Structure 1
Amino acid sequence: MKALSLISLLLLLYTQCAFSQHTPEKGKALEGITADGIMSDIEFLSSDLLEGREAGKRGAGIAALYIASRFKQLGLQPFHSNSEPNNTTEHYLQKVPLIWSKVEEATLAVKKGEQSFRFTSQTDFSPAATNYSFNANGNVVFAGYGIEETTNGGFKNKILLRAKGYPGMGDTLSNGHQKYNSLTERELANIKNNFAREAGASVILEFDPENPTFHLPADNDQKDYAEKELSKRSSGIYKRAVRRSGTELGNTPPIFKVSHRVVEALFPEWQKELSKYTTIAKKKRKFPTSTSGIEVAVQVEETPFMCSNVIGKIEGKNKDEIIVIGAHYDHLGIYDGFIYNGADDNASGVAGVIALAKAFAESETIPEKTLIFAAWTAEERGLHGSTHFVHTFKDLNKIKYYHNYDMIGRSSNPEKPDSAVSFLYTKSWEQAKNLTDKNNTEANLNLNIRWGAMEDPTGGSDNAPFAEKVIPIMWFHTGGHPDYHGPYDHAEKIDQNKIVKIVKLSFLNIWDLTNRINQ
């Protein structure tokens, strides 16, 4: 009797396990996630025909219509429609109104007594992209590296001069090195800009202590395209600011990059002053003010333009619980004769979203929760597409989770594919890690997952606007590589085996989340 009970129990456990892993619907969907299917989308979206998919440009418009046609082909409902029989690809497009801001004219002059020395734009200074015109003048405060934490409002309506880097950056034992060395250039800039804003600065002047100029050598412009030095920030995206129409102007002070000639005109002994910044100050510093005055001005031309998110859905039994799955489809466009194709960033993510939509559509199972599949515009311009969606969605409380893809197609070395992938998630949502770990093991995917639990996942990608609304997020990412934001991010470098495994793991996670009530 005991033996029979044990056998019955084992059979029951086996049946439950087999059902959880091998239901016909789930099995059919998993089989449909293939390298050929994913690569066909990546190859088209990253082709030269699409010209780098810069938001607002022709190539991005073609990409949007292609993604919309794929959603229609798969039988997804348009986001704004109720399964009307005559839906067209246009019904899948959510218009996102944006404004380009282009600097038309910029001036910088240093005044010494009655004399005024006017400097040349793009030779001695370069205004950062800004979305408003302004004129500022007065004396300049030398703020070292502009990262002090003990000055509160000390630069109210003043012009701040700061050096690139941070205190003690050349000393691995300094508190500055320990605190800031691990940060990316963007993260450090955000901290410094926040400091300047909170301190009340009206304009920021920034120079590189190690470089008398602020750009590539002049002879670079005379070289053939194949010989030119390339920067990760070579794209035209960094030449113009973009904001969503109807939003307030940014409150970060405008930033001018300046040469040593400008710095010396203001502070002849700037090197001596900067040498004092070998450590982070524990008490408030006294910042010197220039005896010379300065006048800076920028004239900006604004141009409205329209681009689109592409959104489809599979309506679930419960229309009041929604999972959003998204990835941005825009990239950096064309600059200086190079096409920034963006196969990994982020044609790979969009192909992943399409593959997930196909898997759920072909499973022929009505999910418990509603699934929204989205391809966001203008992520590279400032997360504008996903932000517009979040800010215009009427029932945010219905969105239970957001799943993000951004760069899921590479190994660090294309010649040596690996199984590494980062899984970033809201720390308080421990279930995301547990599901991912379980499904990776049970499906024998053997991905080497680096776990990234985040207290406040409001940066990095299109997860940010969702996280700001306290919506739990999960995000797959295969990491940076030498082609990131460069013109050689091509489809042939995609790690096909890895991306298929990531999409399959995502499908299993979302299947569990949507088909289990109260999860």
Structure 2
Amino acid sequence: MKHLFYLLAILFLIHTYAQDRNVVSEIKKESLLKTVSILSSEKFDGRLPGSEGYDKAAKYAANKFLESKLKPLGDVGYFQFLNVEYNKIDTPAVFEAIVDSITIKYELGKDFVFRGFSGANSFTLPVAFCGYGLSRPDLGYDDYQNVNVKNKIVIVFKQNPKWKIDDKDWGTNYPREKSLVAKQKGAKGILFISLPNDEKPQPLIGSILHGEGEQPTDFPQLHISLQAANDLLSRVGLTINECQTKIDEKKKPFSFLTRTKAKIVATTFYQKNAQTMNVVGMIEGSDPKLKNEYVVIGAHLDHVGSQAGLLFPGANDNASGSAGVIELAKAFSSDKTKPKRSIIFVLFASEEQGLFGSKHFVDNLKISKEKIVAMLNLDCIGYGDSIQVGNGKSSPNLWQIAKEFDQKNFKLMVSDTWSGGGADATAFHEQGIPSLYFVSKYSYDHLHLPTDTVETLNPDLFEKIVKLAFLTAKQVTDGKYEREEVKK
């Protein structure tokens, strides 16, 4: 009888393992890439929260949750609503330099982009170079002290200095903050430039990470190329590299009028409170007790939109993670062995703007946060050559589960990890919820660029990361992991 019991137990384990393998095998790169192609298409216009394109993407995701028979957990159906700032950048969109009598016309996407929260205006005005765009009399440093920028356009470095005065921080370097300083000094618009002396200066990215403060709706904000900056400095016989060097070596302002002009035409439509939504659904657990405990699997659905017809597709960031969540929902729904714990699938809004969707989700939980055993976040999982799982220093037991499954199946996971959450896992980590952040290593070559398209993705790696996330999540949903104390 004892031998029969052991035999049945072994057969059960073999059957369960085979079922798991069958479900994992149904996670296919072709399905993942199809979803990414749809989400990163022109139809969804870069998925900027508050826009029609994002709403279409959210409806598409909700229909996918419905196909997987997820229980709706939103305010209305699958939608959990929140309000965010929204800014549409439309045509006409013009940036030109006027050097003596010569007009140099620049191309959107190649020579300049708008900051996501650019204001609208149209003018041709003189240009002033104002270093780092900082006015910090408390530190004895003011880029505006010896230059009159009233009714002018200012050029400033986008980033803050890497050096300090009296070992004190400069504070944030958000574009809105620097724009409001320039506007207060009398400027009419601002041109940001990446630090030219960096080994790899930041490219012209689309971004809606803007910082606090009221929106200067009549104040254009552009990020321009180093070549365009040098064109505007050509009358004074300096390059932008030389300007940075002068400031950094002496740790003193070096600001001046360039004796050139620029033409800017910026067309925008701003809403202070635009409605957007997270997309939330659930598979209820099968165990009478464990079903009251939850695993959250999430990714951000949003990206940075488009500018006057210039599309930022966001295939890797983060149509890939969103496709992963949709595929995982389908896999768990089709699994004949139902999870013992309940699984909440969520696609967050407004990660790019400041993690607003995930913060809203955590701040408005309909369940006790203590009942959430783990959160798995998928962000930028389609491009690169290996797998990185973040937040392992804060949730080491959870991280070890992923590491062991990778060793058995893929051998693609690097040992490097971090603490403190990261991206949408941050809001959960801060509430003491164990979290992992799945990302592909070397994932950011096309970050926030028009070139972040589905054609650049690594399909095999993409598929394996989603499979690893499934295996990790299944271990947790089956009750084989107990919630650990999060290490801060």
TM-score (norm 1): 0.62
Q: Residue 411 of structure 2 aligns to which amino acid in structure 1? A: N
The residue aligned with 2:388 is 422
Q: Residue 424 of structure 1 aligns to which amino acid in structure 2? A: G
The residue aligned with 2:55 is 61
Q: Residue 456 of structure 2 aligns to which amino acid in structure 1? A: K
The residue aligned with 2:356 is 384
Question: 2:53 & 2:337 partners in 1: Cα distance?
Answer: 35
Q: Residue 353 of structure 1 aligns to which amino acid in structure 2? A: V
Cα pair distance change 1:272/1:366, threshold 3 Å: closer
Deviations 1:30-81 (A, max 9, x none): 1221122222211211122222212111111111111101101111101148
Deviations 1:126-175 (A, max 9, x none): 9987799xxxxxxxxxx99799xxx99657999899966677x7xxxxxx
Q: Residue 65 of structure 2 aligns to which amino acid in structure 1? A: F
Deviations 1:92-138 (A, max 9, x none): 111111233799xxxxxxxxxxxxxxxxxxxxxx9987799xxxxxx
Cα pair distance change 1:67/1:215, threshold 3 Å: same
Measure how far apart 1:320 and its partner are: 3.5
Question: 1:127 & 1:33 partners in 2: Cα distance?
Answer: 39
Question: 2:65 & 2:247 partners in 1: Cα distance?
Answer: 60
Unaligned stretches of 5+ residues in structure 1: 82-89, 104-125, 133-142, 170-175, 178-189, 197-201, 206-211, 217-229, 263-270, 281-286, 291-299, 412-417
Question: 1:492 & 1:470 partners in 2: Cα distance?
Answer: 38
Q: CA RMSD in A?
A: 5.0
SS at match of 1:470: coil
Contact 2:192 2:221 in 1 (8 A): no
Cα pair distance change 1:343/1:213, threshold 3 Å: closer
The residue aligned with 1:492 is 455
Cα pair distance change 1:204/1:38, threshold 3 Å: same
**Which aligned pairs between 1:398-409 and structure 2 lie closer than 5 A?**
398-409=371-382
Cα pair distance change 1:18/1:329, threshold 3 Å: same
The residue aligned with 1:431 is 397
* Range that drifts further, 325-334 or 300-309: 300-309
Question: 2:383 & 2:247 partners in 1: Cα distance?
Answer: 44
Measure how far apart 1:215 and its partner are: 5.5
The residue aligned with 2:86 is 100
Cα pair distance change 1:158/1:378, threshold 3 Å: same
The residue aligned with 2:476 is 513
| Residue of structure 2 aligned with 1:303, choices 272, 282, 290 | 272
| Residue of structure 2 aligned with 1:455, choices 419, 427, 431 | 419
The residue aligned with 1:33 is 27
Q: Residue 345 of structure 1 aligns to which amino acid in structure 2? A: D
Question: 1:339 & 1:128 partners in 2: Cα distance?
Answer: 14
Cα pair distance change 1:369/1:166, threshold 3 Å: same
Question: 2:254 & 2:389 partners in 1: Cα distance?
Answer: 48
Question: 2:247 & 2:353 partners in 1: Cα distance?
Answer: 37
Deviations 1:228-263 (A, max 9, x none): xx985443x44x9588xxxx979xxx999999999x
Measure how far apart 1:462 and its partner are: 1.2
| Residue of structure 2 aligned with 1:375, choices 347, 367, 378 | 347
SS at match of 1:373: strand
The residue aligned with 1:321 is 293
Q: Residue 50 of structure 1 aligns to which amino acid in structure 2? A: F
Cα pair distance change 1:320/1:231, threshold 3 Å: same
Question: 1:166 & 1:17 partners in 2: Cα distance?
Answer: 63
Question: 2:61 & 2:420 partners in 1: Cα distance?
Answer: 31
The residue aligned with 1:441 is 407
SS at match of 2:449: coil
**Which aligned pairs between 1:168-207 and structure 2 lie closer than 5 A?**
192-194=170-172, 203=181
Measure how far apart 1:17 and its partner are: 11
Question: 2:325 & 2:356 partners in 1: Cα distance?
Answer: 19
TM-score (norm 2): 0.65
Contact 1:232 1:485 in 2 (8 A): no
SS at match of 1:488: coil
* Range that drifts further, 39-48 or 300-309: 300-309
Question: 1:350 & 1:476 partners in 2: Cα distance?
Answer: 12
Contact 2:247 2:253 in 1 (8 A): no
Q: Residue 454 of structure 1 aligns to which amino acid in structure 2? A: W
Q: Residue 463 of structure 2 aligns to which amino acid in structure 1? A: V
Q: Residue 515 of structure 1 aligns to which amino acid in structure 2? A: D
Q: Is residue 2:329 matched to residue 1:363? A: no
The residue aligned with 1:267 is none
Cα pair distance change 1:484/1:156, threshold 3 Å: closer
SS at match of 2:377: strand
Measure how far apart 1:18 and its partner are: 8.8
**Which aligned pairs between 1:466-485 and structure 2 lie closer than 5 A?**
466-478=428-440, 479-485=442-448
SS at match of 2:63: helix
Q: Residue 441 of structure 1 aligns to which amino acid in structure 2? A: Q
Identity %: 27
Contact 1:203 1:255 in 2 (8 A): no
Question: 1:471 & 1:157 partners in 2: Cα distance?
Answer: 43
**Which aligned pairs between 1:207-286 and structure 2 lie closer than 5 A?**
214=192, 232-235=203-206, 237-238=207-208, 241=210, 278=249
Contact 1:131 1:249 in 2 (8 A): no
Question: 2:67 & 2:320 partners in 1: Cα distance?
Answer: 19
SS at match of 1:477: strand
Deviations 1:177-209 (A, max 9, x none): 9xxxxxxxxxxxx9632499xxxxx9479xxxx
Measure how far apart 1:366 and its partner are: 3.1
Cα pair distance change 1:467/1:453, threshold 3 Å: same
Question: 2:145 & 2:436 partners in 1: Cα distance?
Answer: 39
Cα pair distance change 1:159/1:365, threshold 3 Å: farther
Contact 1:160 1:204 in 2 (8 A): no
Measure how far apart 1:364 and its partner are: 2.7
Q: Which has the larger radius of gyration?
A: 1
Question: 2:31 & 2:274 partners in 1: Cα distance?
Answer: 33
Cα pair distance change 1:301/1:430, threshold 3 Å: closer
Contact 2:116 2:304 in 1 (8 A): no
Measure how far apart 1:365 and its partner are: 2.8
Contact 1:100 1:241 in 2 (8 A): no
